[in-house]
Amino acid sequence: MLETFLKNPSKTELYVLELSSYQLDELSASPDLAVVTNLFPEHMTHHGGIEPYYEAKKNLIRHQNAAAVFMVNTAHPLIRKWTQETPARAVPFSTWIPKKTPLLGEHNRSNLAAALAATQQARQWLHKKPCTQAQLQKALQSFAPLPHRLQKVGTFKGITFYDDAISTSPESTIEAIKALSPLAPIGTLFLGGEDRGYDFTELEKVLRRYKIPKLILLPDTGKRILKSKKGFQTFEANSLEEAVALAFKHTPRGTLCVLSTASPHAFGMSFEDRGNKFQNLIRKNE
């Protein structure tokens, strides 16, 4: 059905699709405008390795033609290289981004750069004038970020809680740490979930670099995220209720407590369910 949609696009409307590597795996058609923001080694159990994952992602551009556009994150060497593997016209992300946006973190600024460039390209196809910077700034000011993505839950008992349940890979948790640390020290971080064979080496380096003192480790990966617990105070929790109780007990006042597990399906829950329960438990413990 997806291939039928891509091969027979509407002549009067533009549709925006976010496609996972699962959906891209057997894709035999590519969109007129393709955006690859970044590459993380996710879903390794499904794809069987990093190269099959890259090949699945590449289906987004593999079937494009010369009239199509490939929006390129020029900061990513491998994505730059992909421009040689599609006849589509390569267009870099926008170089202009508003100084103030409702989104935290450099990774979100990169996402904004992609969205702004794609917007201007879409307007060109619709034979409309490009948006001015003032128009784009106004649109961004009214944008409300989605839940569970660096979402501030509130300050309770002197601790400010953030729900970043969407971060289910080491790379995304690293970005969360970088985005939140300038706001206040991170006192406690929730880590762990289903074991998909991720490499946590860089995450451990970042935990030490940002001097995050307390870690609440969840099954199953919580036990293997750290090669050494030296320098950390760690706690193991077998339920989200237990994890939140530990956070209230041990997180220093004036610091942040962040749910950003670096692994999927902690406690067998989707990120939405986990984030909602996390927020509800925090408010009950207030």
> What does the DSSP assignment read for 14-78?
-------HHHHTT-----SEEEE-------HHHHSSHHHHHHHHHHHHHT--TT-EEEE-TT-HH
Query: Which residue carries 């997806």 as its tokens?
Result: 2
Indicate whether 263 pLDDT > 70: yes
Is 180 in contact with 186 (CB distance < 8 Å)? Answer: yes
Indicate whether 61 pLDDT > 90: yes
Indicate whether 85 pLDDT > 80: yes
Indicate whether 2 pLDDT > 90: no
Greater pLDDT, 196 or 40:
196
Q: Is the pTM of this model over 0.85?
A: yes
Report the pLDDT value the prediction gives residue 1, as an integer from 0 to 100: 58
List, in order, residues 6 or more apart from 1 with CB less than 8 Å away.
none
Of 62, 26, 258, the C-alpha closest to 163 is: 258
Is 192 in contact with 225 (CB distance < 8 Å)? Answer: yes
Backbone φ, ψ for residue 169 (5° rounding): -140, 155
